[in-house]
Structure 1
Amino acid sequence: MKYILAFLILLLTLPASAAQLSIELDHASKTWQTADLLKHPGIQTLQVVDDVSYKRNMTYRAVPLAVLLPGITSQNHLQAVALDGFAAELAAAPLLEKNGAQAWLAVEDPAHPWPNLADGKPSAGPFYLVWTSPQAGHISPEQWPFQIRAIKQLKTVAERFPALLPDPKLATEDPINQGFALFQKNCMACHRLNGAGDAQVGPDLNIPYSPTEYFSGDFLKRYIRDPQSLRHWPQAKMPAFAASVLPDADLELLVGYLKHMAGRKQQPE
């Protein structure tokens, strides 16, 4: 057994190899090879300040993501799927933005592999969605998916997963619906709710119990702000959501949605 474990660790730490990225849009599909992206006319050397995954400044060869999404409009919805099952739900509008926060697809060059994310873990490659000036768009850590293998155009979350919907009697601008939008942006990459969602990383946030039912007082908000401050273990994956990314008012709305959904439990089919 120890030899198998040693072999797996060795595989994780080997230099990057050429990979492919599948982009599946309603009107067109394309598979990009690493070499093709590294030769793309739009590729640039990009400096990313305080990279979310590496927790330091990083330099990448990257292509503006918008140029890889022909025909996509700001009303569309996309999902970035990672090798480990992480599934980031992405509204198209921020990905197409050319001012303020801008989305880039960083491409790992096999000849110059990126560092490992941690001891015994691989790098963020082969493809990584990174942002310049993320603070300008309140970009969430969940909008920085790494180890991407596919980007897909999908119907909206509400259309695909009705079990996530708040009470339909609520007005569109009701705080609960605002919290639902924040849940999609910040939580769905890792979590399901009522069994609904594509993520395979974190626990369901309503079945059998909502965290609002077992975190008393402000502990849930404290946990979202800094998970490691309440539950510390080396394998923890949940990032901290700083106030610069999830302002206090938004955090209140998100928790309000979770409280509301605790009264709308549905068993997964």
Structure 2
Amino acid sequence: MDSKSAQHQEHQPGREAPMYPAPDYMPLYPGSGRLEGKVAIITGGDSGIGRAVSVLFAREGAKVVIVYLEEEEDAEKARDLIEGEGSEALLIAGDVGDPDFCKAVAERVIKTFGRIDILVNNAAEQHVREDLEDLDAEAMKRVFDTNIYGYFYMIQAVIGHLKENARIINTASIVAYRGHPELVDYAMTKGAIVALTRSLAVRLADRKILVNAVAPGPIWTPLIPASFPPDKVERFGTETPLGRPGQPNEVAPAYLLLASEDGRYITGQTIHVNGGEFPSS
């Protein structure tokens, strides 16, 4: 990150195409077939962490379904990247805060690919609230609709299609553990995601379906310039022990661990990828 990184986007959840420097999303190593034959749904898979996970999963052999809100350019780029890895991509645009849309996603995936093996709940939005008075009920509801209800609706939609050894991976955040003074509602949803992950892991253990979470720290994604003013974007991530923000392709391997056979004895857990911060568990 250099001085050119001072930037801002007005649209949530942000677009990757105009970011500078561009986030690093390409996998860091050759694939080894760890997800061969699998079908993965990734919400928010068009950009940021979701894009990095999508491309990595494709490199490891999975067919990838990208669920996104409306960022067509980012989604088409992600499709090109997945197909460039020799895999298949399905793009589905819509709002995960709508339970009927989530049901339609699951039905379309089954119709197209015949199975669902992995669900990555990753779509999110956040808004800086300088004053608690700005946190009106409707604004807070919108964040909850995307960040926690959207996760639950997607789980409800796919749960009947998941078989033994299926995986659900939720994107939490470091703010679920240490909070954030200007992202109170966002932090609330991320805390709820941790509780959802732990509860669902116990509930689904007898079906041998594994449920885990990844809690990223400061990662350079479109959500950052779409959330913070340019001066804060410019300094983003510099206060971590490693002194820089992380890149999406530095988080994606945690999702691969949890999605693959390497993670077959992990459930109800959260992997922290945050540049050296030590949140309370």
TM norm. shorter chain > 0.5: no
Rg larger for: 1
- TM-score normalised per structure 1: 0.28
Tell which has more relative contact order, 1 or 2 (C-alpha 8 A, sep 6+): 2
